[in-house]
Amino acid sequence: MEINWIIISIVTICVIILVFNIIKRNIKDKKDLETFLNKDDHPISNHEGEVNDDE
C-alpha cells in the first residue's frame, strides 16, 4: 500500500491552520473577558449580594 503524501500534507496543513486559529481566538477572548471584568458597570456589583456586610 502506497502512502499518499499529498493527502497527508493537506491534512497536516489544515490541522496547523486550525490550531493557529484556535490559539488566536483564545487570546482574543481572554482579552475581551479581562476588559469586561475590569469595567465598573457590569451587572454584578460587590455590594448587592454580600451576606456578611459590615457597612
For 22-41, the pLDDT digits (tens) are: 999 999 999 998 888 888 66
Does a structural domain hold residue 25? yes
Does a structural domain hold residue 40? no
What is the structure's pLDDT at 11?
A: 96
Does the pTM surpass 0.85? The reply is: no
Does a structural domain hold residue 52? no
Does a structural domain hold residue 45? no
Q: Which domain holds residue 3?
A: 1-35
Does a structural domain hold residue 31? yes
Q: Is 31 exposed, middle or buried (0-12, 13-18, 19+ CB in 10 A)?
A: exposed
N-to-C CA span, the chain: 77
Radius of gyration of the chain (CA): 23
